[in-house]
Amino acid sequence: SLGGTHGCASVAVGSPVVPLGSAVTASCTVRSELCRGLERGKIRIAWMLDSEPMAGSQQQGPGGTEVSNLTVPHFNRSQARLWCLVEWNGTRQRVGMAEIQAGYPPAKPSNLTCMLNLSDYGLTCQWERGADSLPTAVALKCATSRAQREATGEAVTGCTPRGGGRRCTVPRRLLQLYRKMEIWVSARNALGTAESERLCIDPMDVAKLDPPTLQSIRSVPYQTDCISVAWEAARTSAHMELQCELRYRSPEDLAWALVPGISGQARPTQHCGFLFGTQYHFQMRCRRPSPGGYWSEWSPGRNFTTHE
Amino acid sequence: SLGGTHGCASVAVGSPVVPLGSAVTASCTVRSELCRGLERGKIRIAWMLDSEPMAGSQQQGPGGTEVSNLTVPHFNRSQARLWCLVEWNGTRQRVGMAEIQAGYPPAKPSNLTCMLNLSDYGLTCQWERGADSLPTAVALKCATSRAQREATGEAVTGCTPRGGGRRCTVPRRLLQLYRKMEIWVSARNALGTAESERLCIDPMDVAKLDPPTLQSIRSVPYQTDCISVAWEAARTSAHMELQCELRYRSPEDLAWALVPGISGQARPTQHCGFLFGTQYHFQMRCRRPSPGGYWSEWSPGRNFTTHE
Amino acid sequence: MPLPEFSGDQDFQLFLRKSLEFTRKIKGDVAALQRAVCDTFQLCKEEELLLVRQHLGIAQSPLEQCHSRSFQAEACFSRLCQELQSYHSSLASVRELLPAHADLVEQLQLDAANLSSNIQQQMEDLGLTTVTYPAESRGALPVFSSLFHHQVGSFFILADFQRFLETAYRALRHLAR
């Protein structure tokens, strides 16, 4: 290859990526017999950090080479080039170079939350993370619980956010529905890896439901201050256990009155305490009964005026 | 395989795709020894066209089979299923089926026009076509002239419109620039093929040029009613033979005055007949001199006021 | 129907409630595909296709281990796991037939596989041993000699799957408190 494996000179660094502010050591080895025009014994090696001259030590190395060592005590640039130069015909020749980056191990991702979309059963997760000081590979990891993984050898799956983003979607085929899965975010760069807290959730428990529909609202015979509300869950949650709540108010009310804890699928619910001859506006929403469930949007509203 | 090659019964039709309104003939062959539970000699075959009962003839066929023939004199549904049924345990069993489609050979594509895009040298063609009565494969065909094709064996290339559309783009690598190519559209369905008229064009002749730019406009010394316009062709057509035209008008004029036939690349052009102390608005456009060339858009305008 | 001793276990009851809901979901999706087969191929009534079914040799496993009289948890659960796996593969021929519903069929296959491994996992958690039964003919993907037979075969895969789910649902509901 051009200049042989090592060539006329080569620069070696302890590590191309270092923690910001830490020391960087480098050595430049010049093999005069491989650099036409360089007279052995008269080689003076110099260093530059980007365009800043640096002073290194110089001594003879093995096999007639000249070696210069350099230490930068506190390397505090995010990125720099370390140049090795030699004097030649009255000029300074750049004969070797090493790129050095500095930064921090990735920050621990936090506030991981996930939501299952019922139209395609993809699980979309998002999280927070500090800025990257170095090129960082981020991935959401998703697996059935550790014990099962070891027993069945199921692979860890997940998804990768685009452009180092903070959200991505695990497709249905990589999910295990109705069973606890471990979900976490991993961020890795040259200086280390950081993992978020692990969520242990059944994807179905974090489904975002579509709103129910209010079918009809009627007065209850002989109980003039009561009304009966007929409602229906959305088709996408027709098979699910639900926990729903109703809210209503008349135009004069500032706040909504809330009727929590309506469960089951579509049995009409009865509520009392309504004023006579008053128009009320009703809405309903549902969610999964499990902890961490997301409320659906409120259903389209329905008006009903109680009897005089 | 399941059910043997022919199975208990099979329906054969003259052709699965027929011209609309033409006759359809079909036969249903029942092999009682292959249909467990069917008693030979007591087989009554019936027909249904989708859900409409049809009457067929029935006779013994070769090898102990029962055969029923059916003719639908005028088949005028775009698509239908022909069902063969037999009586069994007091029920009518569907034992065979054939799907039949009817329509017309494809309409001849017309009004084929093509334009070469100078940013990627793709040739975009569009055409008109009647509605499809049957699944129709449409493709733009593009080839050097027939003689060359036969001599050099060059393949016919082209492109396929998405979703049976009416335009597509032939990529640069399939084009022969600065040479006549034959371009036509072919539409094929089960009942035939129709081809458009053939265009015989050099793709470069239908290039859509980028507009020129008006560099500067000056009065001509000692010819006070004349002006000199310095202009430049767009970079993408800097190497091309061009035919350009200039238009100008003053705010009072309703119509534009047009100066056709400006050729060459960028020599300033001189025009006379301008009024004194009047502001004129100038624009220029260019095209390929060959027939069928497309005018570029008008250049950004430039104002100039003649001397008092 | 005798109840196994673990039926009072809280985790087991949660597993049953989740599995009942999952089965309801799968039943709904199978019904949607049955409507699609009816609309698309005019194959809607089982009684019109019994002769061809018999001719195609499509067998359905009776699931006697899950019926009330002879209910036996380990045997029933093992059977459910195995049948769900075989429906997971035989649904592939339904997918070929209904390209417009490929996503729904793929979801159904994933759900069948998930429910099967959920049951499998629950059996392991309870320390039950899995009983393996000779693979049904439906295990391998059937090869149909004609488009009509392919359509009828798919019709019966869905009809049998719906019946299977009905039996599974009843068995799970019996165990759920």
C-chain residues within 8 Å CB-CB of A148? 121
- The yes-or-no verdict on residue C68 having pLDDT over 90 is no
Please report the pLDDT score of residue A96 as a whole number. 94
Chain C, residues 14-53, CB within 8 A of chain B, namely 41-43, 47-52
* Residue among A151, A172, A176 minimizing CB distance to C107: A172
Q: Does A258 touch chain C (CB under 8 A)?
A: no
Higher-confidence position of A265 and C53: C53
- Its pTM surpasses 0.90: no
Chains B and C touch (3+ CB pairs under 8 A): yes
Which of B122 and C130 is assigned the larger pLDDT?
A: B122
Contact predicate A87/A44, CB 8 Å: yes
Report the gap between the CA of C101 and the closest CA in chain B (Å). Answer: 19
Note the pLDDT of residue A2: 44
Predicted local distance difference test score (pLDDT) of residue A43: 86
Task: Determine, for residues A179 and C114 on separate chains, whether the beta-carbon distance falls below 8 Å.
Answer: yes
| Least reliable range by pLDDT among A60-64, C30-34, C169-173 | A60-64
User: Are the Cβ atoms of A241 and C117 closer than 8 angstroms?
Assistant: no
In this model, does residue B4 exceed pLDDT 60? no
CA distance B83 to chain C (A): 10
Between C73 and C87, the more confident residue is: C87
Which residues of chain C does A118 touch, with a Cβ-Cβ cutoff of 8 Å? none
Q: What DSSP string describes B36-102?
A: TTPPTT---EEEEETTEEE--EEEE-GGG-EEEEEEESS---SEEEEEEEEEETTEEEEEEEEEEEE
Residue B1's pLDDT is what? 39
Report the residue of chain C nearest B35, measured CA to CA.
C55
Please report which confidence band the pLDDT of residue B168 belongs to, taking 50, 70 and 90 as the band edges: very high
pLDDT for residue A38: 77
pLDDT at A168: 97
pLDDT along chain A (308 residues), means of 10: 64 94 95 79 90 93 91 94 91 93 95 96 95 92 76 81 90 95 95 95 95 93 88 93 94 91 81 89 94 93 89
Mean pLDDT for the stretch of residues C5-12: 80
pLDDT score for C167? 93
> Residue C26's closest CA among C141, C107, C119?
C107
Q: How far apart are CA C44 and CA C31, in angstroms?
A: 12
**What are residue B25's DSSP bridge partners?**
B71
Q: List all residues 6 or more positions away from A69 whose beta carbon is below 8 Å from its beta carbon.
A: A25, A26, A27, A56, A57
Q: How confident is the model at residue C64 (pLDDT cuts 50, 70, 90)?
A: confident
B94 with C153: Cβ contact below 8 A: no
C145 touches chain B (CB under 8 A): yes
* B87 Cβ under 8 Å from any chain C Cβ: no
Which chain C residues are Cβ-neighbours of A173 within 8 angstroms? 106, 110
C117 touches chain A (CB under 8 A): yes
- Closest partner residue to A179 (CB to CB) among C21, C106, C118 is C118
- Predicted confidence at residue C5, as pLDDT, reads 72
**How far is A10 from A7, CA to CA, in rounded Å?**
7
Q: Which residues of B touch C40 (CB under 8 A)?
A: none
What ipTM, to 2 d.p.?
0.76
C-beta atoms of B88 and C54 within 8 A: no
- Judging contacts by C-beta atoms under 8 Å, the chain C residues touching residue B8 are 51-52, 55
Question: Which pLDDT tens digit goes with each residue over B77-115?
Answer: 999 999 999 988 889 999 999 999 999 999 999 999 999
Q: How many CB atoms lie within 10 A of CB A202?
A: 21
CB < 8 Å to B11, chain C: 148
Number of Cβ pairs < 8 A linking chain B and chain C: 73
Among C21, C115, C121, the residue with its CB nearest the CB of A241 is C21
Q: The dihedral of CA B153, B159, B163, B165: what is its sign?
A: negative
pLDDT over threshold 90, residue C66: no
Q: Taking a C-beta distance cutoff of 8 angstroms, is the pair C33, C147 a contact?
A: no
pLDDT higher at B6 or C6: C6
CA distance C150 to chain B (A): 9
Chain B contact for C57, CB < 8 A? yes
pLDDT recorded at residue A136: 93
Cα–Cα distance list, C75 to C8, C10, C128, C177 (Å): 19, 22, 10, 21
Touching A: which chains, 3+ CB pairs < 8 A? C
Q: What is the mean pLDDT of residues C116-126?
A: 91
> Hey, are the CB atoms on B86 and C51 less than 8 Å from each other?
yes
